[in-house]
Structure 1
Amino acid sequence: MPEDCKNGSSMAAVVLPWFFLVSPVVLAASMTVNEANGTVPLVLWHGMGDCCCNPLSLGAIKKMIEQEIPGIYVLSLMIGKNVVEDTENSFFMDVNQQVSMVCSQLAQDPKLKGGYNAMGFSQGAQFLRAVAQRCPSPPMKNLISVGGQHQGVYGLPRCPGESSHVCDMIRKALNSGAYSDLIQKHLVQAQYWHDPLNDDLYKQRSLFLADINQERVVNETYKKNLQMLNKFVMVKFLQDSVVDPVDSEWFGFLKTGQAKETETLQESVLYKEDRLGLAAMDKAGKLVFLATDGDHLQFTREWFNTNLLPYLR
């Protein structure tokens, strides 16, 4: 498997300045992996414009976790045949197809048959939640969402930088018709675009987010499968300049019909009607809301070890 996607795509190169990761720490050499141990495997899914194996992002995270939990099996998902495809697919591949591919890959991996933990970064977090809801075998034990947008986004303020021609194209497409069939099927960010001013259109035409959030009909299987999680951990970045609104990282969003006031998960119809089982999970202590005082995906190794590693051991 290629280990470096930094130069594999012009789009990836644009993303790297903001798509970070751990604090400036020089990572030591990898520890020897024990063949027989009691660790729980971990599956990682990267965010927009990144890839499975970038040594400055997911590659560094993978190495750090392997150092902290000797012997752990960490699978960093590659969506495509190589790192270039992986990066491009984070912009242009139908999310439902991506989730289906991942479900097949996990089911065929003998190292995961006893279950695994999952950690998604940015959009990779809601994609892994879809895996939990749609594909209960092998079982996902804990889901850790690091800056995921579980109620979607209504804006791309930094995607990933103002000079990116890719982001300019995405903005124009979303503004011209986020819910058209063509854009929904071929632009990843449109599939979790949530327009509070056009709520009915969103519910009718959203191919991905409205489905996994049970906003058309309640799929009892989705609900049952999500409730099988031991913990659903959501990390919010208090100085986030990328996710709009940032409340989406804790499953909150803008109130329907306007684009200024937000509401928490607990104030939402989704929670009050318990369409996903989140209210029941909350009462059972399965929902964990964490915050860190940084911009999007910016955290220190110390913070990561203190707050997230306990859910991986």
Structure 2
Amino acid sequence: MKRTLLLLITMGERSLSTLHERFEVIHAPTASERAAAVASHGTRVEIVLTNGVTGLRADEIDAMPKLTLACALGAGYENLAVDYARARGIALANGAGTNDDCVADHALALMLATVRAIPALDKACRQGLWRDDLPMRPQLARKRLGVLGLGTIGKKIAQRGAAFDMPVGYHNRSARHDVPHRYFDSVQALAEWCDVLVIATPGGASTKHLIDASVLQALGPQGFLVNIARGSVVDTSALAAALRAGELGGAGLDVYETEPKPPAELLDLANVVLTPHIAGWSPESMQASLECFLENADLHFAGRPLRTPI
């Protein structure tokens, strides 16, 4: 008999087909579908598959007495009630390592698009403007790269920056001893040093608005901000004010506080590049994430340690 899986996120047809082969799938990607599914089928659910943004609440866990495994498809799990689930004896896993390359690629793309103003140049070219009528843009090579959060994704971003001959600095809660990059003991100090600051830190209460007006001021009018982590890390109002005042050179954002709605305060700004929280999405990364989840499920129900426990 197939185990019952509550799927709280949108997935492609191929992935859905794979899940249906293995589980009895209750697919509830919208808020209304989710509430109805928990109310109607919660007592049967054994596994939940969600992601960091969508999460899983304590009251939902209470409605699922048979739940023994909750997984986040990606690396993030900030909105999953981890402590509450653990207290209930529920095993927890994420997709750590499955989309690192894709996210790092996208971070580099946002760096180039923002520093070189690629979207604006594309628009100008389509309007018939030639280079003589446009301001020159700085190069990315040899700019100082600051990485906020030198985890697995942050390290891959640093590797890509190194290919552009970018000196790399970083800030974590503590210094790493397995990297050659320069450590800064505060976000402020890192922002004062670097030309491009890339956010790769987890979301959640501990990092909310870590990038505020003072950090943006430290980054300065020649500096650029890239966020492929969580929108909550950046104070959007402060970012909008800095960009409008010319106190920051530009920003490239894959995530924002208002998602899935776009950040209204930034939409009319030419020095902002926006993408729809898609940095970790590719056919390759989605397949790897799905395979990781399936492996974790197999290991869990076989009574063995999970591949990527939270």
Pairwise same-fold verdict (TM > 0.5): no
Question: TM-score of the superposition, structure 1-length normalised?
Answer: 0.36
State TM-score, norm by structure 2: 0.36
